[in-house]
Amino acid sequence: MKSALGLTEACELIQAKELSPNDYLGQCVARADEVEATLKAFTVRAKLADLQNQSKPGPLMGIPVAVKDIIATKDFVTTNGSPIYKDFTPKEDATIAKKIRSLGGLIFGKTVTTEFAWRHAGVTTNPWNSAHTPGGSSSGSAAAVASGIVPLALGSQTAGSIIRPASFCGIVGYKASFGAVPRAGAFPVSGSLDHIGFFTRSVKDAVFAFNLLRNTEIDEEDAILIPELHIKPISMPRIAILRTPFDDLLSSEQIKTVEIAATRLSDAGASIHELTLPQRYWDGIEALAVLMSCEAAVIHEQHLLQSRDLLSNDIIELADRGNACPSSVYIKAKNLQRELRTSIGKYFENVDVIMAAPATGEAPKGLDFTGNPIFCSLWTFIGTPAIALPVNQSSNGLPLGIQLIGNYKEDEKLVSVAAFAEDCFRAS
Amino acid sequence: MKSALGLTEACELIQAKELSPNDYLGQCVARADEVEATLKAFTVRAKLADLQNQSKPGPLMGIPVAVKDIIATKDFVTTNGSPIYKDFTPKEDATIAKKIRSLGGLIFGKTVTTEFAWRHAGVTTNPWNSAHTPGGSSSGSAAAVASGIVPLALGSQTAGSIIRPASFCGIVGYKASFGAVPRAGAFPVSGSLDHIGFFTRSVKDAVFAFNLLRNTEIDEEDAILIPELHIKPISMPRIAILRTPFDDLLSSEQIKTVEIAATRLSDAGASIHELTLPQRYWDGIEALAVLMSCEAAVIHEQHLLQSRDLLSNDIIELADRGNACPSSVYIKAKNLQRELRTSIGKYFENVDVIMAAPATGEAPKGLDFTGNPIFCSLWTFIGTPAIALPVNQSSNGLPLGIQLIGNYKEDEKLVSVAAFAEDCFRAS
């Protein structure tokens, strides 16, 4: 796994003609062939010959990208992780898939997602130990990058579906500020919460992907424009370690990992603080559940009416909860989201980023439960950018890491500190 | 009334030192003293000496502005049209009041609004005939401009509260594209629908006010930035006359007024088409009622709990309806709003503006009912810009007019055609 090229590296070699796109694609396909029987990251993969024929100039020339199977692609069945869509091929690419192709990139295949990017798990296994979940809902995307099949995969996060699988698989996961990455053509879980994001092998690669694939026009009400990011040299980042009301859910190894990360960052020059938040912020976790269930109820209305027998109980329960919710509760959740998106700014006046556990600990054993997203939920609710970084391994040999969270729309500061942190963690 | 200076004219004379601000303010106060006993446009007015002392340089130097009493002002009680707030003086000006003052403008007084800008009428009478309503909810603002007291008044529209009173009072009312005018510090009816807008004596004046008072920064999620507007010369505007499913509510005189307007526009070189819209658009009227009741229920939650006896049945009924509404119905209304805001664009591919009745006819007799907003509701729901223009008078001597509607964010085209139309209507 360690030998696989990163995204930036592969692009540079191809642009410099030191690597032939066809050779590179051959390597990626060979790697997939080697691991897929156990990994099961893909619902469908392009044929090597097809990929080689599509190669065309552009900054992503010859780069295979794995695409979460809720993101529409006109040349692959897009199942949304549901039997309802098992034979569904969209007429059009999602905006972000279109961008990938227009930049010379190739859709390598579609990756396994939980059903409609909600709870009901798919078949993908953790690349580090196939008895463990890779996390979800972006299971296949995280696994495909972690296994060294592709240098970039697209995922989505509505609670913790990028940060958590990135952490479980020991790679970088980046969810930019809410609205900064195009969503049109991705099957929604909840319009107020859905973020499209990136799995890569380094912070630099995540930034490279973001810069190429971010929103460059306002094509929906929730879209925002974030200018191209630059990783800036930082010598003494100010980092706040977050204490949460549910820290008792953390494994001792996860607690230790955050401590190790803090020590390494401190040794490298960072100032480390502790941060607790008022209860009003933690109310955001319940409010996230409200937005998700209410919006999912509308999104799945026709599925419930027409194909109820093809839905898992997880989706039915989610929609039922939403359908039972009065509008006033929903509106208060929306109002809280607006309020916190603004008010969180004050916690970034004296710190550059917040550091927190990305999950309760290592990837849980078994494939049915993709893990608890609660350590990500607040930041998804608020829409602040977050990035998962691997730090070390558990006694079971599974990855453990941390997440860094930046202020809303301050992605540049976040990725700059993340690059600093990545250096610390790698050097050790 | 005809002799009162328009906004641009007054500003120009003051800037050129051909009119002393103190003299001008004296005239405005004198006019108010003359008519207020019958008109009852103001809840409170500044003292002449106070206004004269505040005069300072700026593009609005010496200009008195009447401000609807849902807009917070730190030096006047801001009642929101409700006895609950009868002694409430905000700590801070609303953003738009702050802008007025920073540009040298003066808050002349606060104008009567229906209770919380909803239905329960205030005491203001129609300047053309005191037995008739001036329209609502921006009753006092429309009446103050129409009476020649002030050249500019601020109102708000959540269904038809700028266009309708402007039409009933025979003046220009301008509601820019949703989000283009600052709302912070205005007591909301419904965040998804509320527009702050302008009453003036001409299109030029409305554009002048918009250019000075529009949003120049994104200070809330719904804010949009529209650049400074210029009235462009137009020789052959393409105008679509809208047919609605409720045209049987129109008085014969109102129908005639639209016909007269069309004839004059056609005679002046405009091409006139007819427009009908699919039912999906008219579903927007019911969806507007959903958004308004659901959001009002949350906004008035504390009022209902703590001061129910001080609320009218109109507000209680509105909030009760909202409280009984499931979240799915609310979310579908929001989704329809997003959909129509985009899809309406196709109707503007071959026409520049839509022309429609602004109300059912002349201002109704009596003060309890401020008139039916249904001819404005769809455009408020979608958030397209609209402008009311006077055309002629009814047999009762009350004003009648039309409204022009532009595509979302295409305010410049709208005001340009409106200026063309105004010339036609005045010349006749």
**CA dihedral over B88, B91, B94, B100, signed as positive or negative:** positive
H or E segment at B19?
Answer: none
Residue B287 in any domain: the answer is no
Minimal CA separation from A213 to chain B, in Å: 23
Find out whether B249 and B374 touch, Cβ atoms under 8 Å.
Answer: yes
List the single residue in A301, A325, A331 with the smallest CB-CB distance to B298. Answer: A331
Q: Could you confirm whether A141 is annotated as catalytic?
A: no
Which among B240, B408, B241 has a CA at the least distance from the CA of B339?
B408
Instruction: Say which DSSP state B242 is in.
Output: E
- Tell me: the pLDDT tens digits for B70-118? 999 999 999 999 999 999 999 999 999 999 999 999 999 999 999 999 9
Q: Could you confirm whether A394 is annotated as catalytic?
A: no
Checking if the pLDDT of A151 tops 70, the result is yes
Beta-carbon contacts of residue A255 (< 8 Å; ≥ 6 apart): A247, A357
Return the percentage of chain A with pLDDT > 70, whole number: 99
The reported pLDDT for the residue numbered A2 is: 42
Residue B233 in any domain: the answer is no
User: Under an 8 Å CB criterion, which residues of A touch B?
Assistant: 220-221, 294-295, 297-298, 301, 322-332, 335, 338, 341
* Cβ contact B329–A328 (<8 Å): no
**CA dihedral over A178, A181, A183, A188, signed as positive or negative:** negative
- Tell me: the pLDDT tens digits for B386-410? 999 999 999 999 999 999 999 999 9
CATH of the domain at A45: 3.90.1300.10
Beta-carbon contacts of residue A232 (< 8 Å; ≥ 6 apart): A412, A413, A416
Mean pLDDT of A139-144: 98
Q: Which residues pair with A275 in a beta bridge?
A: A242
Reported as a pLDDT band with limits 50, 70 and 90, residue B1 is very low
Size of interface A-B (CB pairs under 8 A): 57
Checking if the pLDDT of B2 tops 70, the result is no
* Cβ contact A328–B298 (<8 Å): yes
Checking if the pLDDT of A1 tops 60, the result is no
Residue B352 in any domain: the answer is no
- Tell me: the pLDDT tens digits for A56-78? 999 999 999 999 999 999 999 99
Burial (CB < 10 A; 0-12, 13-18, 19+), residue A192, is: buried
Q: Could you confirm whether A68 is annotated as catalytic?
A: yes
Sole residue written with tokens 């829409």 = A383
- Tell me: the pLDDT tens digits for B268-295? 999 999 999 999 999 999 999 999 999 9
- The catalytic residue among A55, A82, A137, A293 is A137
Checking if the pLDDT of B298 tops 80, the result is yes
CA angle A190, A194, A200 (to 5 degrees): 150
Residue B322 in any domain: the answer is no
Minimal CA separation from B327 to chain A, in Å: 4
Checking if the pLDDT of A428 tops 90, the result is no
Mean pLDDT of B322-338: 98
Find out whether B89 and B113 touch, Cβ atoms under 8 Å.
Answer: no
Q: Minimal Cα distance from A342: which residue of B?
A: B220
Distance from C-alpha of B54 to C-alpha of A251, rounded to nearest angstrom: 65
Beta-carbon contacts of residue A226 (< 8 Å; ≥ 6 apart): A176, A177, A180, A214, A215, A409, A411
> Which residue segment(s) compose the domain that A211 sits in?
1-428
Sheet containing strand A64-68, strands side by side: A42-45, A106-111, A64-68, A152-157, A195-200, A172-175, A386-393, A399-405, A353-356, A238-242, A271-275
Return the percentage of chain A with pLDDT > 90, whole number: 96
Reported as a pLDDT band with limits 50, 70 and 90, residue B3 is low
- Tell me: the pLDDT tens digits for B38-58? 999 999 999 999 999 888 999
Q: Mutating which of A327, A337, A341 best tests the B interface, going by the most B Cβ atoms within 10 A?
A: A327
CA A3 to chain CA centroid, nearest Å: 23
Residue B314 in any domain: the answer is no
| Structure tokens, B406 | 């532009």
Question: What integer best gives the mean pLDDT of chain A?
Answer: 97
Residue B321 in any domain: the answer is no
The reported pLDDT for the residue numbered B54 is: 87
Beta strands in A40-169 (DSSP E): 42-45, 64-68, 106-111, 152-157
Mean pLDDT of A116-134: 97
Checking if the pLDDT of A3 tops 80, the result is no
Mean pLDDT of A238-253: 98
Mean pLDDT of B205-227: 94
Instruction: Look up the ipTM and state it.
Output: 0.93
Residue B188 in any domain: the answer is yes
Mean pLDDT of B211-237: 94
Omega of the bond leading into B102 within 30 degrees of 0 (cis)? no
List the single residue in A298, A328, A341 with the smallest CB-CB distance to B332. Answer: A298
CA B75 to chain CA centroid, nearest Å: 23
Q: What is the dihedral of CA B289, B290, B295, B296, to 10 degrees?
A: 50
The reported pLDDT for the residue numbered B428 is: 61
Minimal CA separation from B408 to chain A, in Å: 13
Reported as a pLDDT band with limits 50, 70 and 90, residue A219 is confident
A216: left (phi over 0), alpha (psi -120 to 50) or beta: alpha
Number of domains in chain A: 1
Distance from C-alpha of B127 to C-alpha of B235, rounded to nearest angstrom: 34
Which among B50, B78, B250, B253 has a CA at the least distance from the CA of B154?
B78
Checking if the pLDDT of A331 tops 80, the result is yes
Instruction: Say which DSSP state A71 is in.
Output: B
H or E segment at B157?
Answer: strand B152-157
